[in-house]
Amino acid sequence: MRGALRSRAGMRPCSRKEGSTRGFTPCRESARMSMAGKFDYVYQGEEEKLTAAYDKKLLKSLLSYARPYFARICLCLLAIVIVSACELFAPQIIRAAIDYALAPAAGSGAPLDSRITTLWLLGGALAGTVLVRLLLGAFEAYEIQRITQHALNALRSDVFTHVLKLPLSFFNANPVGRIVTRLTSDIQSISDFFSVALLAFFRDIALIIGSFALMFHLHARLTAYLFVVLIVIAVSVLYYRKIARAVFRELRRKIAKLNGFLQESLTGVSTIQLFGYEGTSSNTFQSIANEEYQSTLTELKLHSFFRPFIRGISILADVLIILAGGKLVIEGELSIGSLVAFLSYNNLFFSPLNDLAEKYGVLQSAMASSERLFLLLNEPVEPSGRKSLGAGSSGLEIEFRNVWFAYRGEDWVLKDISFRLEANQSLALVGPTGAGKSSIVGLLLGLYKKQRGEILVGGIEIDEIDKEALRGVMAFVQQDLFLFQGTLAENVTLEFVGNDQTAAIPISQDSNLAQLLGRLPLKAKISSKAGTLSVGEKQLLSMARALYRTPRILILDEATAHIDSITESLLQDALSQLEGKLTSVVIAHRLSTIKESDQILVINHGSIVEQGHHSELLAAAGLYAAMYKLQMAQAA
Ligand SMILES: Nc1ncnc2c1ncn2[C@@H]1O[C@H](COP(=O)(O)OP(=O)(O)OP(=O)(O)O)[C@@H](O)[C@H]1O
Ligand SMILES: [Mg+2]
């Protein structure tokens, strides 16, 4: 990255202060840092919001999804208890086999035949425990996976349904990639936790407590020696937890940064290629990937050290048992069978600690993931009123009363907008780029909330109208149309049946809509990137989609800018036939298309600067007249 950027001409050297990662000054140093630094800036915030690795409230919210399966979870727990009991019972059988059949205490006088019978019986019992462990283990593993998948499916659906109800401002502030991560990898890490770590946790507790108690039962003094080892372990686990938390968090941040960069680069790949930015991008990628690699290495080192460390301590404990226990055997205080059982319990005791690092990792990411998911679930949904707009198919009146609106803070995009449009009339919004025309339409569609004033649709304040009812009466022909995967027909009706049946759209053949549709290859399959349609075709489709809904208010934002003049006149025809049947709001740069509108508003810098009919505005000789004359002169 350094080399690539250094060669870029026209950049001035930095002062020391400017070289920070957050500097947006276009100096050489900050440009060198800005790409990688930007992703620090964007993704750091989110990770820093995440606080605890373990949180009772979170765990409770998560477990609420498992509640419907309470009975089956209890069955699984019972299976775990039985499996653990079998594991803990096995060394006792081996102890009995050694002490009663293989090497009975001198002078016990047991006949050879009965020793062999005992061996067979105990061998059978051991095989029985293995069989129970196998069967119940398989049942419990399958069942818990099934419950996890069910519960997470419900969680995923809840999150998705919730996301669909969030206001547009949320999507403006959150990149799509981040939301997709919530629904995919975050759900996955919670799934890992439930299916791998949570039950293992119960088994681990059972094994640790059980083996310790049984060792104590076998020989209390020998077990007391192991306390020394236990203290070492407890201290090192606490210390490990402290370091691991910081390392895991750093790694998660680096992964988020890498994903963010990847997502942005791939979305904008055509711009990267067209402007020859491949070198810089791949250099930035390498430096971000390198950071992630370094963090992964640190995590690996921690892992690689911790596992052998615990293993070493467990061997040390074995040595301790053999030495101290062996002495007890020689002194006749402990049987050989008990010593062997003691060693087995020692191994059982340590086995959960061996993969503690991995389990802690799973717990950490599951907690972080669930925190992020519940933050998302706690995002307030788009507010909606309760009033309906009443039945009917004719247009509705629209009124703006002293409306003020800003996307952020008090950065007013619309200032004191007031106008009234009677039912079944047409309104045109004109004005320079960035004046606020689309913002007016956004408010009318209920996509954003005004800060001051009133907006009335059909005589009812917009905030009091049910959102679904409001959008049910409106159709919006967008500047940039989004296409879903499916046929064009499906994209008109927005009913996706997944077969070609929908190619026949239920409309009368002599309608305007039929004429529009006649110009589109309706059976063609399209991808959601809309790359297969021309811009003009997309606008036709957008119009067809809107008309199909038979709206009471039709809103067009730059709907005819990319259509040839023949198709445009067809569209104008279609629109003029709708005149008097619905209320329409049209944004247009080409003023020739809106001359017939009942009312024209000229917007500039967020305010209405002129208002009236075409002829009145021409006579006023203001901004509209100037724009119109300029366009006429260009057309001539
Ligand atoms: N989502 C948004 N967040 C923040 N600011 C925005 C957002 N959308 C638009 N703006 C800003 O609001 C102002 C008005 O934008 P708007 O889209 O309403 O203009 P417009 O009149 O429709 O322009 P054009 O004719 O170019 O479509 C612009 O300065 C724009 O940068
Ligand atoms: Mg606009």
Domain ranges of the chain: 48-377, 398-635
Give the three-state DSSP class for 367: helix
Identify the pLDDT of residue 18: 34
Q: Is residue 30 within 6 Å of ligand 1 at its C-beta?
A: no
Instruction: Give the rounded percent of residues in the chain with a pLDDT score beyond 90.
Output: 37
Contacts of residues 75-81 at CB distance under 8 Å and 24 or more positions apart, as own/partner, are 75/143, 76/140, 76/143, 76/144, 76/147, 76/199, 77/202, 79/136, 79/137, 79/139, 79/140, 79/143, 80/140, 80/199, 80/202, 80/203, 80/206, 81/206
pLDDT digits (tens, 9 = 90+) for 42-88: 444 444 444 444 456 767 777 788 889 999 989 999 999 999 999 99
How many whole angstroms from 149 Cα to the centroid of ligand 2?
45
Q: Which atom of ligand 1 is nearest to the CA of 429?
A: 21
The enclosing H or E element of 349 equals: helix 336-354
Identify the pLDDT of residue 25: 32
Q: Is the pLDDT of residue 531 over 80?
A: no
Band (623; pLDDT cuts 50, 70, 90): very high
Contacts of 580 (CB under 8 A, 6+ apart): 424
Q: Is the pLDDT of residue 210 over 70?
A: yes
Looking at residues 338-361, what average pLDDT do you find?
86
Least confident of 49-58, 417-426, 503-512: 49-58
Q: Are 388 and 579 in contact (CB under 8 A)?
A: no
Ligand in closest contact with the CA of 414: 1
Least confident of 308-317, 497-506, 621-630: 497-506
pLDDT digits (tens, 9 = 90+) for 367-411: 888 888 888 888 888 888 888 887 777 889 999 999 999 998 889
How many whole angstroms from 165 Cα to the centroid of ligand 1?
23
pLDDT digits (tens, 9 = 90+) for 159-201: 999 999 898 878 878 877 778 888 888 888 888 888 777 778 8
Q: Is residue 172 within 6 Å of ligand 1 at its C-beta?
A: yes
Higher pLDDT, 259 or 86: 86
How many whole angstroms from 414 Cα to the centroid of ligand 1?
10
Q: Are 462 and 470 in contact (CB under 8 A)?
A: yes
Q: Is residue 435 within 6 Å of ligand 1 at its C-beta?
A: yes
Q: What is the dihedral of CA 200, 204, 205, 210, to 10 degrees?
A: 140
Higher pLDDT, 435 or 16: 435
Identify the pLDDT of residue 508: 63
Query: Which fold does the domain 398-635 belong to in CATH?
Result: Rossmann fold (3.40.50)
Give the three-state DSSP class for 61: helix
Give the three-state DSSP class for 558: coil
The residue whose CA has the least distance to atom 12 of ligand 1 is 413
Least confident of 43-47, 561-565, 598-602: 43-47
Instruction: Give the rounded percent of residues in the chain with a pLDDT score beyond 70.
Output: 85
Looking at residues 420-441, what average pLDDT do you find?
94
Q: Is the pLDDT of residue 609 over 90?
A: yes
Ligand in closest contact with the CA of 408: 1
Contacts of 278 (CB under 8 A, 6+ apart): 272
How many whole angstroms from 203 Cα to the centroid of ligand 1?
59
The residue whose CA has the least distance to atom 25 of ligand 1 is 433
Looking at residues 104-129, what average pLDDT do you find?
84
Mean pLDDT of the chain: 82
Q: Which atom of ligand 1 is nearest to the CA of 431?
A: 21
Identify the pLDDT of residue 498: 63
Looking at residues 220-238, what average pLDDT do you find?
86
Amino acid making up residue 410: E
Structure tokens at 433: 């780029």
Q: Is the pLDDT of residue 23 over 80?
A: no
Query: Which fold does the domain 48-377 belong to in CATH?
Result: ABC transporter transmembrane region fold (1.20.1560)
